[in-house]
Amino acid sequence: GQNIDQPTEMTATEGAIVQINCTYQTSGFNGLFWYQQHAGEAPTFLSYNVLDGLEEKGRFSSFLSRSKGYSYLLLKELQMKDSASYLCAPLDSNYQLIWGAGTKLIIKP
């Protein structure tokens, strides 16, 4: 079967760094997306990894290890507006996104 594991909730301090991990098992693999979703809003695209390694985009970076079925999202210089849920979604052999339940990130002053 297909399975996505992410921590349910994490707490971090404003200005700090946080790493949100995601492990996955899918039938086939064609890349992995990370999305951000603020409460009551639609998900918005953060990153896409298809090859192993680290992709950096401003304060956000995403890492992928295909052999380990593992990805993480790294958020630096945390701001209060980063309080949101972060969704990990690998693409299966049919190019369908398989969604995890998401990690709710709480930022404290």
Q: Which of 48, 61, 70, 74 binds another protein (CB under 8 A)?
A: 48
CA distance 96 to 2: 12
Residue 63: which of 88, 38, 99 has the closest Cα? 88
Q: Which of 4, 32, 64, 73 binds another protein (CB under 8 A)?
A: 4
Q: Which of 32, 62, 90, 102 binds another protein (CB under 8 A)?
A: 102
Q: What is the total count of residues that contact another protein (CB under 8 A)?
A: 20
What are the strands of the beta sheet with 18-25, ordered from one edge? 3-5, 18-25, 70-75, 60-65, 53-57
Q: Which of 1, 39, 42, 51 binds another protein (CB under 8 A)?
A: 42
Residue with tokens 């985009």: 57
Q: Which residues bind another protein (CB under 8 A)?
A: 4, 30, 33, 35, 41-45, 48, 87, 89, 95-102
